[in-house]
């Protein structure tokens, strides 16, 4: 929360450690007999690692959506200002579930997230602007496809699946893990704080 107030929310913006501003472009110029690289803020950068980039994009897995935990966490003040990636692929997977309770839960969560978007708390990206077509034959391999989408969209994975978390970490993707044991507690906290 403190960092979101310090840093503007430009996805993949580069952070200047000198002025604490963010920018998207670095320009190279000649100064004397040297090449100098400067950010849009005007400060020099040596183009040596690490270069700090900011991200404001999360992609929740199906369990997080079924539990409706993401919208509850946004209501509690977490993930505010983030872009939530909600690919249509997730709806294709959910549509294959037997019984309606999990389908209904995801539908309710999507509506909750839309309401939060209307309030200006989050943004939703359904990937319609990206040239992504998921092969329907991959519907049984949702973890693999979700990891591909996380990688492609440069998102932080939000999951309650330990194996998916481990796979994401092996692929060096930032991950927020929420234990399924805490879903009920998150619901209770949200009800108490926002009656």
How do residues 77-86 score in pLDDT, each as one tens digit? 999 999 999 9
Taking the CA atoms of 25, 26, 29 and 32 in sequence, report the sign of the dihedral they define: positive
Give yes or no for residue 5 having a pLDDT over 70: no
Where do the domains of the chain lie? 7-45, 57-193
Distance, in Å, from the CA atom of 47 to the CA atom of 91, rounded to the nearest integer, reads: 42
Which burial class, exposed, middle or buried, applies to 143 when counting CB atoms under 10 A from its CB (0-12, 13-18, 19+)?
Answer: middle
Least confident of 2-6, 158-162, 183-187: 2-6
Distance, in Å, from the CA atom of 19 to the CA atom of 6, rounded to the nearest integer, reads: 12
Average pLDDT, the chain: 85
Distance, in Å, from the CA atom of 3 to the CA atom of 15, rounded to the nearest integer, reads: 12
Position 1 confidence tier, pLDDT thresholds 50, 70, 90: very low
Give yes or no for residue 135 having a pLDDT over 70: no
Give yes or no for residue 9 having a pLDDT over 70: no
What is the mean pLDDT of the segment spanning 75-102? 86
pTM exceeds 0.75, yes or no: yes
The CATH superfamily label for domain 57-193 reads 5'-nuclease (3.40.50.1010)
CB atoms within 10 A of CB 97: 15
> What DSSP element (H or E) covers 188?
helix 183-193
* pLDDT for res 14: 84
* pLDDT for res 46: 84
Q: At what angle do helices 162-170 and 142-153 cross, to 10 degrees?
A: 40
| Both structure tokens of 113 | 């997230």
* pLDDT for res 134: 57
Residues 6+ apart with CB under 8 A from 179: 160
Percent of the chain with pLDDT over 90: 39
Q: Which residues pair with 27 in a beta bridge?
A: 38
Distance, in Å, from the CA atom of 71 to the CA atom of 115, rounded to the nearest integer, reads: 9
How do residues 136-164 score in pLDDT, each as one tens digit? 565 567 888 899 889 988 899 999 999 99
Give yes or no for residue 4 having a pLDDT over 60: no
């Amino acid at each position: 929360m403190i960092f979101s107030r310090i840093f503007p929310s430009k996805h993949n913006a580069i952070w200047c450690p000198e002025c604490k501003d963010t920018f998207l472009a670095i320009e190279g110029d000649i100064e004397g007999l040297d090449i100098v690289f400067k950010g849009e803020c005007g400060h020099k950068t040596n183009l040596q690692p690490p270069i700090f980039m900011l991200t404001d994009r999360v992609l929740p897995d199906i369990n997080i959506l079924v539990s409706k935990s993401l919208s509850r966490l946004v209501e509690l003040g977490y993930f505010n200002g983030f872009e939530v990636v909600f690919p249509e692929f997730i709806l294709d997977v959910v549509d294959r579930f037997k019984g309606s309770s999990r389908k209904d839960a995801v539908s309710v969560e999507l509506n909750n997230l839309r309401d939060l978007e209307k309030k200006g708390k989050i943004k939703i990206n359904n990937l319609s602007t990206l040239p992504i077509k998921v092969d329907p034959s991959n519907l049984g391999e949702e973890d693999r496809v979700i990891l591909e989408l996380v990688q492609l969209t440069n998102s932080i994975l939000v999951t309650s699946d330990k194996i998916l978390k481990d796979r994401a970490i092996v692929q060096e993707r930032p991950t927020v893990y929420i234990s399924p044991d805490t879903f009920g507690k998150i619901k209770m906290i949200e009800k108490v704080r926002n009656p």
